């Protein structure tokens, strides 16, 4: 599998890059962005933070709006930002913003017509890291973070694969997708009507099944318009309390669901991950 460099821009003495490749898992061309700190030009390997974006986003939203590169450069961490879904004329789509292209929900679809391409779980967990570790100066030390739908993705992926990550964090995650409109629509379409299949991608369920515990940080804006109907952090708090899972949930007065919120607290999240990613470097 080969990478094609689309663009490379100097940023905080490092490089903000965009790549394309053919994904065998998703059976389509995929694009992702990477920030490489300046030290990556030397003969060293650096830990990686995977960022998963939310509904309607591509690999460009976080790289252009979050302002994460300055701190990543200082800490010596590579940022990898995949797209949120398979894309292309051959890939099934939906008229709604919350299903289809731009809304992969980080699951492996089992239902037609989605199953041919929508396997974002396998892409993020296996294919993309293998590609990154084969072609870029990174180590096998990984952390994962995301926003909204991507926060759901980061939490569920980490809970199902604790040995692959040092830590996980999320901004405004969809905590209980089995019980919110976004999740019910997406999980029903991708996985079918049997809700036992949905449980494999619901943080509140997976937390109760976890055999290992990872450090978790969650940031939530109190003025988020999706807070009550879609995000349901109280369900996450209840699930964590029931099994004594040490989740750190911080509420921030006045903040909403936007990238202004992410930009305001991304340094905290990067330092949270760096403490663990760099502990044994």
Q: What is the pLDDT of residues 178-203, one digit of tens each?
A: 999 999 999 999 999 999 999 999 99
Residue 247 CB-half CA count within 13 A: 31
pLDDT, position 44: 83
The arithmetic mean of pLDDT across residues 252-262, rounded, is 98
Q: For the chain, which domains are there?
A: 4-277 (3.40.50.1820)
Q: What angle do CA 32, 109, 59 make, to 5 degrees?
A: 15
Residues involved in catalysis: 148, 224, 257
SS (H, E, C) 61-117: HHHHHCCCHHHHHHHCCEEEEECCCCCCCCCCCCCCCCCECCECCCCECCCCCCCCC
Q: Verify cis geometry, omega within 30 degrees of 0, for the bond prior to 110.
A: no
pTM of the model: 0.97
Residue-level pLDDT at 197: 98
pLDDT of res. 39: 72
Determine the distance from the C-alpha atom of residue 80 to the mean position of all C-alpha atoms in its chain, rounded to a whole number: 10
For residue range 90-138, what is the model confidence (pLDDT) as tens digits?
999 999 999 999 999 999 999 999 999 999 999 999 999 999 999 999 9
Contacts of 244 (CB under 8 A, 6+ apart): none
Run of H or E including 135: helix 128-135
* Closest C-alpha to 214, from 133, 261, 145: 145
């Amino acid at each position: 599998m080969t990478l094609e460099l689309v663009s490379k821009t100097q940023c905080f003495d490092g490089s903000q890059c965009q790549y394309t490749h053919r994904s065998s898992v998703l059976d389509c061309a995929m694009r992702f962005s990477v920030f490489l700190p300046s030290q990556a030009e030397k003969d060293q390997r650096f830990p990686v933070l995977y960022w998963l974006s939310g509904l309607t986003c591509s690999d460009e939203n976080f790289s252009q709006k979050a302002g994460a590169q300055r701190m990543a450069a200082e800490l010596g961490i590579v940022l990898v930002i995949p797209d949120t879904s398979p894309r292309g004329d051959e890939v099934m789509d939906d008229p709604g913003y919350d299903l289809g292209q731009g809304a992969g929900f980080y699951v492996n679809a089992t239902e037609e017509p989605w199953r041919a391409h929508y396997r974002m779980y396998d892409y993020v967990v296996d294919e993309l890291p293998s590609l990154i570790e084969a072609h870029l100066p990174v180590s096998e030390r990984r952390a994962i973070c995301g926003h909204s739908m991507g926060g759901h993705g980061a939490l569920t992926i980490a809970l199902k694969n604790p040995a692959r990550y040092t830590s996980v964090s999320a901004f405004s995650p969809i905590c209980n997708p089995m019980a919110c409109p976004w999740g019910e629509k997406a999980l029903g379409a991708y996985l079918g009507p049997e809700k036992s299949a949905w449980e494999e991608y619901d943080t509140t369920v997976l937390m109760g099944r976890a055999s290992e515990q990872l450090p978790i940080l969650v940031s939530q804006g109190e003025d988020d318009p999706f807070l009550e109907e879609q995000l349901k952090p109280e369900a996450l708090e209840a699930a964590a309390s029931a099994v004594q899972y040490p989740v750190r949930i911080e509420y921030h007065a006045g903040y909403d669901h936007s990238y202004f919120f992410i930009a305001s607290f991304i340094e905290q999240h990067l330092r949270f991950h760096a403490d663990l990613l760099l502990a044994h470097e």
